[in-house]
Amino acid sequence: MNELVHPYHRFIRPTVTHTTFCPGCGDGTVAQSILRAIDGLGMDMDDFVFVSGIGCAAWIPSPLFNADVLHTTHGRPIAFAFGIKMGLPDKKVMVVSGDGDLVAIGGNHLIQNARRNIEMVVLCVNNGIYGMTGGQAAPTTPMGVKTTTTPYGAFENFFEDISGLVIAAGASFVARWTTAHPRQLTASIKKAIQKKGFAFIEVISQCPVQFGRKMGMGNAIQMLEDYKKRSISIKEAKKLSPEELKDRMVVGEFVDLDKPEMVEEVTRMIRRASGEAQEAVDTGRG
Amino acid sequence: MGEKRVRTGRYFMMGNVACAEGALAAGCEFAAGYPITPATEIANHLAEKLPQVGGAFFQMEDEISSIAAVIGASWAGKKAMTVTSGPGISLMLENIGFAIGVETPCVIVNVQRGAPTTGMPTIGIQGDMVQAKHGSHGDYEIIALCPSSPQEMFDHTVIAFNYAEKYRTPVFLLSDAFVGHMREEVVIPEAEKIETVCRNIPEPGTDPLKMKGFLDEDVAPMPIFGKGFKAHVTSSCHDEYGKRNLIDISALDKFVRRLSNKILKHKEEITLVERDYEDAEIVLVSYGGVSRAAAAAASQARKRGIPVGTLRLITVWPFPGEEIEKMARRAKQVIVLENNLGQVYPYIKAEAAHFAEVSFLPPRLVGEIQDPEDILRKIEEVSK
């Protein structure tokens, strides 16, 4: 009798026997969407270097993915990824981390590297909470929500539109989906991998244990149904007023444009500089 | 490539520029930093010269991302460095611990300046000596070199890269604004006379499941990215294979001890000192720019018939306790000189006080290297 093996099992590190995600966590959907995208493009794990920070989503590539993986300090994965990409320009570099990691403590690295438009994929799993540390408020936690650090309700304005921030900073590809859109998410990840530029994908993802419960949103299935109900495509959203869009989740591919990419610019600069150096030697100016 | 990288010749050169030239000669391919006085000349020079040899300097958004990018580049297989001053090091400390934890070769140049806090940027002090050893959280060992001249800014930068590559660890160059901005003769040898070391990497095709890429006291080969090693590199507590372990205290014990032992086991071959205390009863112990004043004072004292010698620590970390003890066994008086309020002094005293009288002479004003006359007065005082 043949053993049944999951088609993406080959992408999983052989020493991994289980995940650390809570029951109902959206990270499994995100992990599978990434692997489906890689498989769909006919690529291999050795084509990639994965980088992650601190938090639940960071544990998607580390240790699940059977590839070169750098699991870094809190908030800094994009900065580490910068060095990796510059050192290995032919590899695809993908950062997978959460909203707390990429937008709170690591916010400036996100903004600055979107500005640089350096080729890499940044996948931000946005669950609106600090899950791993026990449900503390994040910059993405809606106002009024009671968390372990906001027992009387969150009193800060929050990031409703991380993607908008990254668009403003200058990324050449930006998309947002929810875990209720795995097929669309997979399609966008494929595009992001192929993009010559900074490609950012925000995935609104359920944390039933630390967020759903406290919000009164119920379990994972109820949260996904809520995502389906509240999400609206960017095309449809354009027809509605801001009031009508209140509490809606606008999803889709917001930006997909071509602009100068940093690794290419650096390569050009080096070619120019080393050529000039050669010329200086030739003419005795060195 | 070697010729282009090595500007063989005799120069009148600024210490910071000599550091950048040393980095080029050592094979540096990637540098990242953030502008800060008094280290900017190193960054400026690297930004000009690195692209000429196929590398690049990147100005990052802050020092946190600078060291992060350096570590990333090192895992991508590049020889990498960052240059900064005390405030920048303060920001880098978490990721310096990361580099130690996942055994990443890289060079960190700290051109120390008047501190604490924003302090006085153009004044050299030796204010960050213990920060280099204890600044990041947890137990760890570090290697730190203390140049005292522009020539040593060149030489020690080469050594720093070699140590980093050999022991798979961050290596500090603890210079200061005086040495960094000092202009003196610098002799750059021919390329083939400069020894450069490159890290060991696993044999191509090594089975990732059998590859022990971490926690070897004799330095594991580095499973750099892009070679199909499928390296799992995590700063979480991990085993020899890089596998995370967050539940077993014995794994944590191994993680802490082996990382430290990797340096301590090779302390003798890492340690560099300059001994000039034959027949001396009084020994001046110093490092960096201050050792120039110590040497001047010792020479004048000897002319006056007082048997004074010097011990200069070139590597301050790992702390060369054995060298201190060896010196103290022969001395009656040990005078420690630093351009601070006594940072390495307690370490020296702990090793030397059993054998000799140990005292500390601070600079008259912090930020002012001890006047040899002041040192002489101190020598005369203790020799009575």
Whether residue B207 is contained in a domain is answered as no
Range of the domain at B372: 272-383
Q: Are residues B40 and B134 located together in one domain of the fold?
A: yes
- Taking contacts as CB-CB distances below 8 angstroms, the residues of chain A near B226 are 49, 68, 87-88, 90-91
- Residue A215's pLDDT is 80
Query: Measured between beta carbons, which residues in chain B are less than 8 angstroms from residue A90?
Result: 226
Q: Do A68 and B226 touch (CB under 8 A)?
A: yes
Grouping H, G, I as helix, E, B as strand and the rest as coil, residue A242 is coil
Q: What is the mean pLDDT of residues B176-185?
A: 98
Among A residues 245-284, those touching chain B with beta carbons less than 8 Å apart: 266, 269-270, 272-274, 276-277, 281
- Going residue by residue through chain A, which has 286 residues, state the pLDDT in tens, using 9 for 90 and above: 678 888 999 999 999 999 999 999 999 999 999 999 999 999 999 999 999 999 999 999 999 999 999 999 999 999 999 999 999 999 999 999 999 999 999 999 999 999 999 999 999 999 999 999 999 999 999 999 999 999 999 999 999 999 999 999 999 999 999 999 999 999 999 999 999 999 999 999 999 999 988 788 889 999 999 999 999 999 999 999 999 999 999 999 999 999 999 999 999 999 999 986 555 555 544 3
The domain locations on chain A are 22-261
**Residues in chain B closer than 8 A to A276 (CB atoms):** 52
Nearest to A49 among B29, B60, B226 (CB): B226
Smallest CA–CA distance, residue A69 to chain B, in Å, is: 5
* B47 in A contact zone (CB under 8 Å): no
Domain end call among B147, B175, B193: B193
Does residue B215 sit within a domain? no
Residue B202 lies in a domain: no
Which residue of chain B is at minimal alpha-carbon distance from A278? B52
Is B199 within a domain? no
State mean pLDDT over B318-322: 98
Whether A159 has its CB under 8 Å from any CB of chain B: the answer is no
Q: Do B73 and A266 touch (CB under 8 A)?
A: no
Query: Which of B34, B92, B214, B230 to mutate to test binding with chain A, by most A CBs within 10 Å of its CB?
Result: B230
- Closest CA–CA distance from residue A236 to any residue of chain B (Å): 37
Question: Has residue B203 been placed in a domain?
Answer: no
Q: Is residue B223 part of a domain?
A: no
In this structure, the strands spanning B143-145 and B315-317 are antiparallel
Residue A79 near chain B (CB below 8 Å): yes
Q: For residues B10 and B121, state if they share a domain.
A: yes
Choose the mutation target among B59, B92, B233, B241 for the interface with A, i.e. most A CBs under 10 Å. Answer: B233
From CA B102, how far away is CA B213, in angstroms rounded? 10
In this prediction, residue B1 carries a pLDDT of 47
- CA quadruple A222, A227, A230, A232: dihedral sign: negative
- Contact between A49 and A92 under an 8 Å Cβ cutoff? The reply is yes
The shortest C-alpha distance from B6 to chain A (Å) reads 12
Residue of B nearest to A64 (CA): B232
CB contact under 8 A, B71 and A80: yes
Q: What is the DSSP string of B243-268?
A: -B-SS-HHHHHHHHHHHHHHHHTTHH
**Is the separation of the CB atoms in B362 and B341 below 8 Å?**
yes
pLDDT tens digit sequence for B4-60:
899 999 999 999 999 999 999 999 999 999 999 999 999 999 999 999 999 999 999
Residue B117 lies in a domain: yes
Q: Which of B158, B174, B193 delimits the end of a domain?
A: B193
B226 vs A70: CB contact, 8 Å cut-off? no
Chain B residues near residue A63 by CB distance under 8 angstroms: 232, 234, 243-244
- Is B234 within 8 Å of A87 when comparing Cβ atoms? no
Residues 6+ apart with CB under 8 A from A244: none
Nearest residue of chain B to residue A110 (CA atoms): B61
CB B379 within 8 A of CB B335: yes
Examine residue B259 and state whether it is found in any structural domain, yes or no: no
Q: Which chain A residue shows the shortest CA-CA distance from B207?
A: A14
With beta carbons under 8 A apart, name residues in chain A contacting B209.
14-15
Tell whether B40 lies on the interface with A, counting CB pairs under 8 A.
no
Into how many domains does chain B fold?
2
- 8 Å CB contact of A72 and B62: no
Interface contact B138, partner A, CB < 8 A: no
- B298 and B156 housed in the same domain: no
Q: Looking up tokens 């008047």, which residue turns up?
A: B114
Cα separation values, B337 from B126, B156, B320, B349, Å? 11, 21, 16, 12
Instruction: Quote the pLDDT of residue B384.
Output: 82
B201 touching A (Cβ < 8 Å): no
**pTM for this prediction:** 0.97
| Pick among 3.90.1200.10, 3.40.50.720, 1.10.357.10, 3.40.50.970: CATH of A22-261 | 3.40.50.970
Q: Partners of B137 in the beta sheet?
A: none
Any CB–CB contact under 8 A between B8 and chain A?
A: no
Instruction: Tell me the DSSP string of B23-92.
Output: HHHHT--EEEE---TTTHHHHHHHHHHGGGGT-EEEE-SSHHHHHHHHHHHHHTT--EEEEE-HHHHHHH
Judge if B61 and B177 occupy the same domain.
yes
B contacts of A72 (beta carbons < 8 Å): 68, 98, 235
Closest residue of chain B to A280, computed from CA coordinates = B52
Mean confidence (pLDDT) of chain B: 97
Give contacts of B238 with chain A, Cβ < 8 Å: none
Q: Which residues of A touch B54 (CB under 8 A)?
A: 270, 274
The larger pLDDT score, comparing residue B150 to residue A276, is at B150
Domain at B149, CATH number: 3.40.50.970
pLDDT in tens, B50-63: 999 999 999 999 99
A–B interface: beta-carbon pairs under 8 A: 146
**Chain B from 239 to 258: CB within 8 A of any A CB:** 241, 243-244
B70–A76 CB contact, under 8 Å: no
pLDDT in tens, B74-89: 999 999 999 999 999 9
Q: Which of A80, A273, A274 sits opposite B69 (nearest CB)?
A: A80
Query: Taking CB atoms and an 8 Å limit, are A14 and B241 in contact across chains?
Result: no
What pLDDT shows up at residue B64? 98
CA distance A76 to A55: 12
Q: Which residues lie closer than 8 Å to A132 by C-beta, 6 or more apart?
A: A54, A55, A56
ipTM value of the model? 0.97
The reported pLDDT for the residue numbered A276 is: 67
E strand or H helix at B174, and its extent? strand B170-176
Q: Check which CATH number belongs to the domain holding B376 and give it.
A: 3.40.50.920
- Answer whether B58 touches A (CB < 8 Å): yes
pLDDT at B14: 98
Asked if B346 has any chain A CB less than 8 Å from its own CB, the reply is no
Q: Provide the token pair at B65.
A: 């991302």
In A, minimum Cα distance to B227 occurs at: A46
Which residue in the block uniquely carries the two structure tokens 């006056």?
A: B304
Are residues B290 and B185 both part of a single domain?
no
